[in-house]
Amino acid sequence: MDIIPAVDIRGGRCVRLTQGDYARETVFEEDPVAAARRWADLGARRIHVVDLDGAKGGKPVNDAIVRAIAASMPCPVQTGGGIRDIETFRSMVAGGLDRIAMGTAAVKDRALLRAIVAEAAPHLIVSVDARDGRVALEGWTEATDLDATDFIRELTDLGVQRVVFTDISRDGVAGSPNFEAYERLTRETSMAVVAAGGVSRVDDLRRLAECGVEGAIVGRALYTGDVDLREALEVLA
């Protein structure tokens, strides 16, 4: 299982939100490129970069920083946040991003989703962000009645190869991931699943590996030191 450090960017800085709440922000690093480099130097095999301003606003805002991270890392970099048309998707791939996450657009524009799957399925990740089992959109600010598991089954039928699943209630807070949700997703669907939200200790990563997920995105716990990346990589090796 891959351990994937998160670099969330808002206002040009590396931050973490609590449960997706833009009013509950903690700044961990003034320079997101330096943050990403630190994790890569410690052995991360992939970095996850989110443009929080883009996710909320509907178009990339911090894309120059995202591209700078991709250009300077020795490992693959994936990104998401405000990518809602095929031209932006193509531009991100051309800019060196290995995987591109789409959330709101994947729900609201199935024609776009089909076009991207046909053109570049290996580069696509669909972000499935759920609150109480229902998909949330627009940077987690818009609720829907769409059941997350049903949506992932639909994505599988459409040819999507990989999702990042986030339980919003667990994101950016101490506790544990929603292991039951990950076990259900890996058992009931054939989708490659990357877990996000709630990792607070190395034991959480062990348990996620047992759930069968492909990778785990870790944010706040790395920045606070609750999870030591070197130790986690050794344990999950």
- Catalytic positions, written as ranges: 8, 129
For residues 136 and 132, give the distance between their C-alpha atoms in angstroms, rounded to a whole number: 10
Sorted by sequence, the CB contacts under 8 Å of residue 82 that are 6+ apart come out as 51, 53, 54, 55, 56, 57, 58, 59, 60, 61, 88
Contact (Cβ atoms closer than 8 angstroms) between residue 52 and residue 22:
yes
Name the nearest CA neighbour of 185 among 169, 165, 210, 200.
Answer: 165
CB distance 16 to 223 below 8 Å = yes
Amino acid letter, 18: T
